[in-house]
Amino acid sequence: NPSQIYFGVTPPISLKGATEEEIDITNKMMEYLKDHNQFEDEKASKNREIVLGQLDKLVQRFVYLASLNHGFTEKTAATCKGKIYTFGSYRLGVHGVGADIDTLCVAPFHVTREDFFEIMPKLLSERSEVSELTPVPEAYVPVIKMEFGGVPIDLTFASLHFSSIPEDLDLIDPKILKNISDKSVMSVNGSRVTDEILRLVPNVSTFRDSLRCIKLWAKKRGIYSNSLGFLGGVAWAMLVVRVCQLYPNAVAGTIITRFFRIMYQWNWPQPVLLKPIEDNPLRFKIWNPRQNPSDRLHKMPIITPAYPSMCATHNVSQSTLTIMTAEFKRGADILEKVFNNECDWSELFIEQDFFSRYKYYLQVIISSDNLDSQLKMKGLTESRLRLLVTKLENVEHIILAHPNTHSFEKVFSCVDEGYANNIRNGIFPETEAVNNGGHEDIIYVPESNEENSGEIANMDSENSQNRVKVCTNSFFIGLLIEKKPVGYVGSYKVDLSWPAQDFMEMIKSRETPGSETSKIHIRFHKNSDLPNYVFGNKINPARKIHSSR
Ligand code: 3AT
Ligand code: MN
Ligand code: MN
């Protein structure tokens, strides 16, 4: 098999090893990453291992109890073993400080998903190390989220065709997928993809160093988010793997340079593949643009290597592809300077200045009177926001709609409903204060604002019980609008009301029980009237200074 002599779908571009200069530049990169807290210390890694050990014990207990419930004798139940696997950034060995551990609990076939969501949360809640326990059984990939011994954990579940899970079971074997539920297929998929990734990379340690660099860069540049139409952790990992395959003997610094060049010049929608797509023996849905019209719509396909292969980037839109391509170009230019000794690595990681890039912005404000509803609404809105982006980029004269990966959370307690309504419509105190020239009493008080807490007490402490609490989250979308041709008189009519209305209707129609009181509102901003808090409470640089009356 000729594909055995190299990794990937084409032969490498270069087999060259590293020059001294490349090693030197790589060392500097590693120094930067270490100095910026991208590696966990020994103690924290040990703690993760301890947590995983304890979690494994709980899984064994769970399988035992579930087996008893299904009528097994104590003796037989004791022979039924489960197993936990890890995936995600921890499994890849690129997790940062405070990252979660993505874990998969694999149980024998008689143990059901209902058992998992019934028994496991009970066992976990009995443990003093566990906090923020949140089962999410209705998710696309059902999960129990929690903090265990200070470590965030995502725990998913699959049951496989075994009466007891063998100690050495390798999930990479596609036969394990036979006749198991769709949810179990999706759940083992995370783990199978991570395992394949590690097998398809020529040098794991170079891959890890490179991926850490790319992840930090993508976060700083605001392009790390699967749900908003950028790339998530798995997709970034796969891009780095592909470049590692093309330069199997290069060091990380070189991989990064090549990464930006190759990705900037990539001929999308040509897919990035880490290996040939496998046949389809079990007739799952796999990515196949020749057969599936919906797969032909993918703008930036990056295909997962484990059977059944899927596109990890189906959320990418024209706008987000344009934004990422510009970032690849920026990265390529900076790396060229790094290699010419004209600048250092820190330049690569400068944070994007989202609120200075565009002249127009939309603010999507969601609000609720309690945190529980608000969390649900926030998740719902975040998972749909890309649909608003797609609607916007199709509006005439709009070139680009850019969703900000950072959202803003504010909690207010208002003296009455009138003020609460203003908040729900996104009219926050400081915006008001500017609008009426700063002549205003403190009517709304951000709850978490320490500085103002003294003033709350002074104002009217006896009335504070009657305050109306409003929790808000704001998402911003930057809009690039076509320049008017020279000599064009008048202004463009850019009608945002339909996309905005459509989006709000969609969110409202998805309301879940408890979220009836939640509100969604969309505001349009010129850059000069963006609120100061998006600039970290510095004055909006685009705001003209008003002379006071
Ligand atoms: P972090 O270091 O945790 O930020 P990560 O790559 O581990 O990076 P996640 O923990 O978010 O990222 O995700 C790990 C895996 O979980 C990736 C994917 O297989 C699965 N996953 C994450 N989010 C979703 C989702 N919304 N739907 C389906 N699978 C998901
Ligand atoms: Mn993770
Ligand atoms: Mn996770």
| Bridge partners (DSSP) listed for residue 525 | 361
Burial 74-112 (b: 16+ CB within 10 A, else e): eeebeebbbbbbbbbbbbbebbbeebbbbbbbbbbebbb
Element (H, E) at 252: helix 252-265
d(CA 236, CA 316): 13
- CA contacts within 13 A on the Cβ side of 25: 27
Roughly how many angstroms between the first and final C-alpha of the chain, as a whole number? 82
102 is catalytic: yes
ipTM value, please give it.
Answer: 0.96
How many whole angstroms from 72 Cα to the centroid of ligand 2?
Answer: 35
Which phi and psi (to 5°) does residue 262 adopt? -65, -45
For 124-162, b where at least 16 C-beta lie within 10 A, e where not — what string? beeeeebeebebeeeeeebbbebbbbebebbbbbbbbeb
User: What percent of the chain lies above the pLDDT cut of 70?
Assistant: 91
Count CB atoms within 10 A of the CB of residue 449. 13
488 is in an annotated binding site: no
Is 209 catalytic? The answer is no
Q: Domains in the chain, ordered, with CATH? A: 2-36+203-349 (1.10.1410.10), 42-196 (3.30.460.10), 354-535 (3.30.70.590)
Write phi, then psi, for 385 (nearest 5 degrees): -55, -35
CB burial readout 484-497, b (16+ within 10 A) else e = eeeeeeeeeeeebe
Mean pLDDT score of the chain: 90
Write the pLDDT tens digit of every residue in 448-496.
444 443 334 334 444 556 788 899 999 999 999 998 888 877 777 788 9
The pTM assigned to this predicted structure is: 0.91
Closest-approaching ligand to the CA atom of 142? 1
Return the closest-CA partner of residue 312 out of 268, 262, 273.
Answer: 273
| 56 is a catalytic site residue | no
Peptide bond into 308 cis (omega under 30): yes
Supply the pLDDT for residue 416.
83
The predicted-structure confidence for 270-309, as pLDDT tens digits, reads as follows 999 999 998 888 888 999 999 999 999 999 999 999 999 9
**Mean pLDDT along residues 23-34:** 98
- Each residue of 110-160: pLDDT tens digit? 999 999 999 999 999 999 999 999 999 998 899 999 999 999 999 999 999
Give residue-wise pLDDT tens across range 395-423.
999 999 999 999 999 888 888 888 888 88
| C-alpha closest to that of 417 among 509, 517, 501, 512 | 517
Please give the number of the atom of ligand 1 that sits closest to the Cα of 194: 19
Which one is catalytic: 154, 195, 209, 295?
Answer: 154
What is the C-alpha to C-alpha distance for residues 118 and 402, in angstroms, rounded to an integer?
41
- Has residue 4 got a pLDDT over 60? no
On whether the CB atoms of residues 230 and 316 are closer than 8 A, the answer is yes
Mean of pLDDT values over 65-87: 97
Question: CA-CA distance, 154 to 143, in Å (whole number)?
Answer: 6
Rounded to the nearest whole angstrom, what is the distance from the C-alpha of residue 492 to the centroid of ligand 3? Answer: 44
Torsion, Cα 117 121 123 125, to 10 degrees, reads -170
Nearest to 177 by CA among 165, 189, 166: 189
Ligand that lies nearest to the alpha carbon of residue 98, given by its number in the listed order: 1
Q: What is the DSSP letter of 35?
A: H
Helix (H) or strand (E) holding 450: helix 450-460
Q: Is residue 41 annotated as part of the catalytic site, yes or no? A: no
Q: Is 91 in the pocket of ligand 1 (CB under 6 A)?
A: no
Cα separation, 207 vs 89, in Å, equals: 12
